[in-house]
Amino acid sequence: MTGKKTQNTSQSPDNMNNDKRTIALAGNPNVGKSTIFNALTGLNQHTGNWTGKTVSNAVGKYTYKDKTYELVDLPGTYSLFAGSAEEEVARNYIESGDSDVVVIVCDATCLERNLNLALQIINISSRVILCINLMDEAEKKGITIDIDELSLHLGCEVVSVIARSEKGLDTLKESIEEVCSSPPQKFLKRLDFSDCKTEEERTVKFVSASEEIAEKCVSFNKAHYDKRDRILDKIFTSRLTGIPIMLLLLGGIFWLTIVGANYPSEMLSKLFGFLQIHISSFFEYINSPSWLSGILVDGVYKTVTWVVSVMLPPMAIFFPLFTLLEDFGYLPRVAFNLDKFFRKSGADGKAALTMCMGFGCNACGVIGCRIISSPRERIIAMLTNSFVPCNGRFPTLIAIITMFLIGGVSSSFGNSFLCALVLLLVIVLGVFITLLSSRFLSKTILKGESTYFTLELPPYRRPQIGKVIIRSILDRTLFVLGRAVTVSVPAGAIIWIFANINIGDNSLINSVSSFLDPFAALIGLDGIILLAFILGFPANEIVFPIILMAYLSQGSLTEYESLSQLHNLLIANGWTVTTAICTMLFSLCHFPCSTTMISIYKETKSIKYTAISFLLPLCIGILICFITKNILSLVL
């Protein structure tokens, strides 16, 4: 599993006696670097940001032969010299000498492309290990790598592994321990650039050296080893079938999310209702003031549990499905299909990936914009991410579509399919608005030329279903849910105050909604709907419950027992098809939730751009609803 030893072990480095060793983990995107990191560190890890950067880092620890090794997962990058934030962070960390060893992870199925980065790192680091992952995939494709020959040409230790099944990781640990305990490697393949006058010439030299080494060390036993990938690419990236298949897959995910989330949401709602009875009994037992139990139970508790019961199930379904497509290698194809549209709008093609992340949570989509190297295009992607509906808006959209647009309130297979189809059309509208808004921003406050980016189409791989589910729930679902719950606590108290404090004969919520009625009517809404969106700023999930609470004059959030019951209630309070469509459009285009706003501020460190992220979708939503309302008033 290892190559020939090239380092002199007769001496020990100065830090040989240190108990803690720091290991940097580097590599291109999509080579399995995170899989190796997770396999070595397990749950003993944490994440954060590099100082002064919006690039995330992951640090973990593992123990081997009574020594502690700290593993630093550097951002995935194709080069150290192209100038993006990720490349700058990786280069600076390696050059700093803070790590004892740099482990470079490569993909065995495309080693030549990966060797470019490996040679760049070898040129600036004194202790290096090349870790070749996905050896099983290479074997299936008839690709053979001469490990000993590769080790000889690079002048460093070479280890082959299969990270998903953890094969070869013990050998990797052993190699890390040996290199840490040895002097700097003397025979590393360092290139001479004395004849290179430009960065481009240096790059060409690295590429040429990579091709030369790969030609000597890699052999292909099958003439068409990548035939399956090319066939799939003809289907998934074709001008004829690429976009339709993308929409079909997205619609299927939405349908599964809609159908699958109903039952766990109902179970959670009943559980929280049962617990509320006992919590209320406890407050009665201790003779607490009614206002205190009202704020804590009817306000905070009901709001938080509503958010959890409505938000958790769809996220727990959507995020794993989304991650499975990512693990399969499909998402880069989505970016490829949409790149020309985003580029024409003045945005980056990678914004397609961050937009897809926004379907689960706009805050996650905003954070995901870190993959965009251009600061200008990164900000454009952040400011427009909220035009795709997150799962917090799905319940409102689905309920409105079912009751007013598909002619039924049953939960049959046919209605679920039609609901998913209409929801998909709404999302396509959101994407169209995203492109128009990106174009507007790129021509006004964020002027500049569109940049080009390197997009690797990784090999298709069998998804690791178990690990995907666990990591998507831990890294995405619970992370987003935690943020939503945090902002829902004060929101619950505010909502209760609005519903229970009176001004004259009316509650505060009715007084404010009456004040908003004239403006709301201009855009096809009423004052209660508009106020519900304002009070729902902490979390989109609570918008509809606030509407019901106000219509029923209840002092706390109210749940509906059936869509039929809800439909009758809305009709009785003046809802029409026009009201339903305008509410749906305003739900699609209005200010982001507080969690997303906080994420935008943390990522941009700018009050200006945070304010724009609030005003841009709000103004567009008001304009669209105003136009739609007036058109429908002439037609219906």
Q: What is the pLDDT of residue 158?
A: 94
Please state, in angstroms and rounded to a whole number, the distance separating the CA atoms of residues 326 and 463: 9
Q: What is the pLDDT of residue 150?
A: 94
Q: Side chain identity at 387, as an amino acid letter?
A: F
For residues 54-63, average pLDDT:
77
98-113 CB burial, b ≥16 within 10 A, e <16: ebbbbbbbbbbbbbbb
Q: What is the pLDDT of residue 197?
A: 72
Q: What is the pLDDT of residue 48?
A: 52
Q: What is the overall mean pLDDT for the chain?
A: 83
Q: What is the pLDDT of residue 11?
A: 36
Q: What is the pLDDT of residue 450?
A: 62
Q: Tens of pLDDT along 449-499? A: 666 555 667 777 777 777 777 777 776 677 667 766 777 788 778 888 888
SS3 at position 183: coil
Q: What is the pLDDT of residue 144?
A: 92
Only one residue has tokens 């719950």, namely 485
Q: What is the pLDDT of residue 415?
A: 65
Residue 198 vs residue 41, higher pLDDT: 41
Q: Tens of pLDDT along 300-347? A: 888 788 778 877 787 788 778 877 887 788 877 887 888 888 888 888
Does pLDDT of 559 surpass 80? no
The answer to whether 307 and 541 have CB atoms below 8 angstroms apart is yes
Residue 526 φ/ψ region, left for φ over 0, alpha for ψ in the -120 to 50 degree band, beta for the rest? beta
The 3-class SS string of 60-126 reads EEEEECCEEEEEEECCCCCCCCCCCHHHHHHHHHHHHCCCCEEEEEEEHHHHHHHHHHHHHHHCCCC
What percent of the chain lies above the pLDDT cut of 70?
A: 88
Q: What is the pLDDT of residue 363?
A: 85
SS3 at position 144: strand
Please state, in angstroms and rounded to a whole number, the distance separating the CA atoms of residues 543 and 528: 10
Does pLDDT of 55 surpass 80? no
Does pLDDT of 12 surpass 50? no
Q: Tens of pLDDT along 391-449? A: 778 778 888 888 888 765 445 555 667 777 888 889 889 999 999 999 999 888 887 66
Does pLDDT of 1 surpass 80? no
Does pLDDT of 97 surpass 60? yes
Does pLDDT of 17 surpass 60? no
Least confident span in 19-23, 189-193, 281-285, 439-443: 189-193
Does pLDDT of 291 surpass 80? yes
Using 50, 70 and 90 to split pLDDT, how confident is the model at 6?
very low
Q: What is the DSSP string of 210-242?
A: HHHHHHHHEEESSTTTTHHHHHHHHHHS-TTTH
Q: What is the pLDDT of residue 9?
A: 34
CATH topology for 20-220 is Rossmann fold (3.40.50)
pTM beyond 0.75, yes or no: no
Domain spans of the chain, in order of start: 20-220, 242-451+460-635
